[in-house]
Amino acid sequence: MIEANGLHKRFGAVHAVRGASFTIEKGQAVGLLGPNGAGKTTTIRMLVGSLPPDSGTVRIDGLDTLGRSLDARRRIGYLPESTPLYPEMTVAGLLRHRAMLFGVARRDRRAAIDRAIDRCALRGMRARRVGTLSKGYRQRVGLAAAILHNPPAILLDEPTNGLDPTQITEMRRLMRDLAAEHALVISSHILGEIEKTCDRVIVLASGVVRADAPVGDLARATGAATRCVLEAALSDADRAAGFIAALRDIPAVTGVQTEDLGGGWRRVSVSAEPGARGLAEVVGSIALNRGVSLRRLADETPTLERVFLGLVARAEPAP
Q: What is the mean pLDDT of each run of 10 residues along the chain (319 residues)?
A: 94 93 93 88 92 95 91 91 89 94 91 92 92 90 92 90 82 87 88 84 89 76 74 90 94 91 93 80 92 89 70 59
Q: What pLDDT does residue 230 have?
A: 93
Q: What pLDDT does residue 23 have?
A: 94
Q: What pLDDT does residue 121 have?
A: 86
Give the span between the Cα atoms of 140 and 204, in whole angstroms: 27
Burial class (CB in 10 A: 0-12, 13-18, 19+), 143: buried
What is the SS3 assignment for 228?
A: strand
What is the SS3 assignment for 205?
A: strand
DSSP annotation of 179: H
CA 86 to chain centre: 30
Convert 293-312 to b/e letters by CB count within 10 Å (16 or more is b).
eeeebeebbbebeebbebbb
* CB 98, CB 148: distance < 8 Å: yes
Strands in 153-157's sheet, in edge-to-edge order, are: 76-79, 153-157, 183-188, 29-33, 200-205, 208-214
Q: What pLDDT does residue 119 have?
A: 87
CA 213 to chain centre: 10
Give the span between the Cα atoms of 309 and 90, in whole angstroms: 43
Give the span between the Cα atoms of 135 and 127, in whole angstroms: 17
- Going 95 to 103 to 156 to 154, the CA torsion angle's sign is positive
User: Model-level pTM?
Assistant: 0.74
Using only the alpha carbons of the chain, give its radius of gyration. 25
Q: What pLDDT does residue 60 have?
A: 95
Q: What pLDDT does residue 192 have?
A: 77
Give the span between the Cα atoms of 265 and 293, in whole angstroms: 9
Q: What pLDDT does residue 77 have?
A: 93
Query: Which residues on adjacent β-strands are paired with residue 129?
Result: 90
Query: Which residues on adjacent β-strands are paired with residue 232?
Result: 266, 294
